[in-house]
Amino acid sequence: MCYLESKQSRRLCPFFNLIVRQLSNYIIVNLKSLVGITKIKEDKEMKQSYKGKSVWITGGGSGLGRAMALRYSHLGARVSVSGRRADRLEETVKEIETQGGSGLTVPCDVVQEQQVVSAVGQVIKRFGSLDVAVANAAFPLKG
């Protein structure tokens, strides 16, 4: 699904979704023939593999992080999202919960080690484990 956020890009979402579906089908068909794959996991199988798992995504309030959070939730995972903008994180978790999933907002600046340690602790305290961590947050490089 397309999760672009600007008003202009929302009009393009159906178009982008169609392209992604077409490309996905093309890639899967060609991958099967190239490497001899005979079975690609369906959504149902994927849901079973993430059902009950705890996923923590940094940079989960927007862009790819948000899209991954919504997708993992759709696949049955309990999703925690971190980032510096609590309002965006709360929007992501609200959408996860609206779709029947379980989410947690954990504000965190990934360049602050103590905040990262605290975030991991919060995820484990809420969900009992941390099974998947996605390091998606952007941070400045000093040169």
pLDDT tens column, 27-84:
444 444 444 545 555 556 666 688 989 999 999 999 989 999 999 999 999 999 999 9
Distances in whole angstroms, Cα of residue 135 to Cα of each of 20, 26, 68, 112: 23, 29, 11, 14
Q: How many CB atoms lie within 10 A of CB 64?
A: 13
Mean pLDDT, residues 119-142 taken together: 87
Is pTM beyond 0.85 here?
no
pLDDT value at residue 31: 47
The pLDDT confidence band at residue 111, using thresholds 50, 70 and 90, is confident
Yes or no: say if 60 and 83 are a contact pair by the CB < 8 Å rule: yes
The whole-angstrom separation of Cα 133 and Cα 112 is: 17
pLDDT value at residue 7: 45
DSSP 141: P
Locate 120 and state its tokens. Answer: 């991991």
